[in-house]
Chains A and B, each alone.
Chain A
């Protein structure tokens, strides 16, 4: 604390602490605390009248969406868009009218009797780790190429290898999402596999930049020296280069993992929880309707906890403690 003021002076130091505080409280503590609090509240719906009303609305919504899919006339589409919006609002309103929060906080939202949710979570974790592993293998040579390139060649290389795919990929990735989420598209695992390459592609930037940063500072003379002492290239890689790049690898792996986990989790969990064919509808219901906010919050909390746990495991895998890559000092 005092260090910041010593380095930046009173005014700039205060500003830095203020911004850090806004970040930590506004973007980390408050949302997460809110999520946890919300996940402990269950919504009780008065079953008879609400159920009937909601089912009518859901039927109307489904038929409107089907019509929208078939419609070719833009005017007709616009009309249906308007109808869908009205129906969604109506659905939300009905939910709110016919339901009330539980009096006592409880863990009912975390209940997972059929194990569907934990399976979905594990699958998501596995898939994210797979994406991370593939991205790591794919990015390692690329990061080396960029790090070894002359200063002049580096910029075009990074531009072509990183920025262009990343920039171009948003539409591509959207298309993959579209395939997965569209009501008429393939469903289940198959569609999820189809978006993996796109996910790896997008996640790669989180992988390559930390590795590049670690390698670009790499002292080439370490390699010269090791070679001079008679070490083979593979030994040099295993004993000198990889340990040296471990912090970059750990940060890259954790970032890629968290990115893919975050991107995957939503449709994945949504899809599997109900096994519905129509998961676009399901997704919107879950996210947009008041009634399921508690369960959505429970999803978010368990997903965050699981991903953080996995990220720490990744760090350990690269022989790093959290303190190696954070300002906290490691105990000897």
Chain B
């Protein structure tokens, strides 16, 4: 029942002159948690709705568990979609909501009520069965929507910004419940949204979409650490961006002349000397010299180490992380340090900072992308 693979071939959606989804191949394994990230209008919604059956693709096929479901309506697909506003039936009790799919299948009332109670337990919401949706908070509503979807034992769960209306502390509980359910049932999950931290934390694979195309689909680790485009690099997490021109190429390692001086970086894609590139450095990979020494990294590949002297102009505590704002030759660089206690840096003073060439990814700036910033 639960857990089937989802494949699409050249799936595309065209509305009049606008292409919502360029031909897209999707290959989600049975039981996989696959997340799709992207800005508004990237086509992730079109992708989800064609899989769910709410939108007919202009071209291409959708296969679920090896069966072509392209021409089937939503109710005849082994999928259930949960929307961000969970669309609970307002004039039914929570139990009747959860049991609705079973009711539609002709399951007798006592059986389906018992099953509904089980499912509400499973999502961590016992004892709310007699309430009305209007009396629940956003998190409870999302949980009820999950229980309602699971009641019909779908092979594939489609999450349309499932938890976007839920407060962050309650999101964690609901994600934990979903993860436990995934482990016990092996259900396949396709989720879309823009919460990249959650997507990275909970997905087996994450795809980033832009302008109707999947830019990269990879494990969270690789997507974050080895993005294949500046779009992905900047969409998933934060980046310091330095524009520059390549002055020397030695394999992957290149030397780039930038506003803060000559830097050693890692080329992404084929480059030659003279190319204009953007060098991207994650704020947590920008280190203080003494932190580097503390961690015993000082002797690792000293050739690749870039040294800068930065003026610390701002510092803000974001809980577990402290964000430092350095200025190096009029360029602002952001450094995220773990909040390890009272060892504070002196504001308005110079500090030795640096980063390794492996953590500085240089993407060629294509002429067509000249205006991309």
Q: Which residues of A contact B (CB under 8 A)?
A: 219, 221-222, 224-232, 235, 239-240, 243-244, 246
Report Cα–Cα, A219/B87, bound state, in Å: 8
Are A225 and B83 interface neighbours, CB within 8 A?
Answer: yes
Q: Which residues of B contact A (CB under 8 A)?
A: 52-54, 73-75, 79-81, 83, 85, 87, 89-92, 100-101, 103-105, 148-149, 151-152
Which residues in B have their C-beta under 8 angstroms from that of A222? 87, 89-90
Interface of A is mostly: helix
From B54, B73, B75, B92, residue with most partner A Cβ within 10 Å? B75
Are B87 and A229 interface neighbours, CB within 8 A?
Answer: no
Are B87 and A224 interface neighbours, CB within 8 A?
Answer: yes
Report Cα–Cα, A227/B73, bound state, in Å: 9
Which residues in A have their C-beta under 8 angstroms from that of B89? 222, 225-226, 239-240
Are A224 and B74 interface neighbours, CB within 8 A?
Answer: yes
Are B91 and A230 interface neighbours, CB within 8 A?
Answer: no
Closest B residue to A235 by CB, please name it: B104
| B101 in complex: contacting residue of A221, A230, A244, CB < 8 Å | A230
Which residues in B have their C-beta under 8 angstroms from that of A225? 81, 83, 87, 89
Which residues in A have their C-beta under 8 angstroms from that of B105? 230
Return 18 A-B CB contacts under 8 Å, by A number: A219-B85, A219-B87, A221-B83, A221-B85, A224-B81, A226-B89, A228-B80, A229-B80, A229-B104, A229-B148, A229-B152, A230-B75, A230-B101, A231-B104, A239-B89, A239-B100, A240-B91, A246-B91
Report Cα–Cα, A235/B106, bound state, in Å: 11
Knowing A225-B83, A227-B73, A230-B152, say if A244 contacts B91 (CB, 8 Å).
yes
Knowing A222-B87, A244-B91, say if A231 contacts B81 (CB, 8 Å).
no
The distance from the CB of A184 to the nearest CB of chain B, in whole angstroms, is: 54
Are B85 and A230 interface neighbours, CB within 8 A?
Answer: no
Which residues in A have their C-beta under 8 angstroms from that of B80? 228-229
Closest B residue to A233 by CB, please name it: B75
Are B148 and A221 interface neighbours, CB within 8 A?
Answer: no
Report Cα–Cα, A228/B77, bound state, in Å: 8
Which residues in B have their C-beta under 8 angstroms from that of A246? 91
Report Cα–Cα, A268/B85, bound state, in Å: 53
Are A239 and B83 interface neighbours, CB within 8 A?
Answer: no
Report Cα–Cα, A222/B83, bound state, in Å: 10
The 9 closest A-B pairs by CB, nearest first: A229-B101, A231-B104, A243-B91, A221-B87, A228-B74, A225-B87, A230-B104, A230-B75, A227-B75
The distance from the CB of A247 to the nearest CB of chain B, in whole angstroms, is: 10
Which residues in A have their C-beta under 8 angstroms from that of B104? 226, 229-232, 235
Report Cα–Cα, A239/B102, bound state, in Å: 14
Closest B residue to A220 by CB, please name it: B87
Closest B residue to A319 by CB, please name it: B91
Known: A219-B87, A225-B81, A225-B87. 9 other contacts (CB 8 A): A221-B85, A226-B104, A228-B75, A228-B79, A228-B81, A230-B105, A231-B104, A240-B89, A240-B91
